[in-house]
Amino acid sequence: MADSREVMNIRQASHYLGVSPDTLYKYVGEQKIPAFKLGNRWRFKKSKLDQWMEEKSSQMEVATRKPKAATKAAGTQ
């Protein structure tokens, strides 16, 4: 049987992500975060949020490594 917390409401998802419900509504409105509507309520799949966070984390790692690599390369020339 599937975990009942696999699908979260806005309050549960905001708590899980550590952001306010208002911030989460903003992200949903800007289509920055995976969500779907069930009736007139936003719902969030935990697995999709985990995947989204992993992708964002990987992007941040690449973005923070580039300036260091560029600085190192500039210093060796």
Domains and CATH numbers, the chain: 4-76 (1.10.10)
* Cβ 17 vs Cβ 49: under 8 Å: yes
pLDDT digits (tens, 9 = 90+) for 14-40: 999 999 999 999 999 999 999 999 999
The reported pLDDT for the residue numbered 61 is 75
Per-residue confidence band for 2, with pLDDT thresholds at 50, 70 and 90:
very low
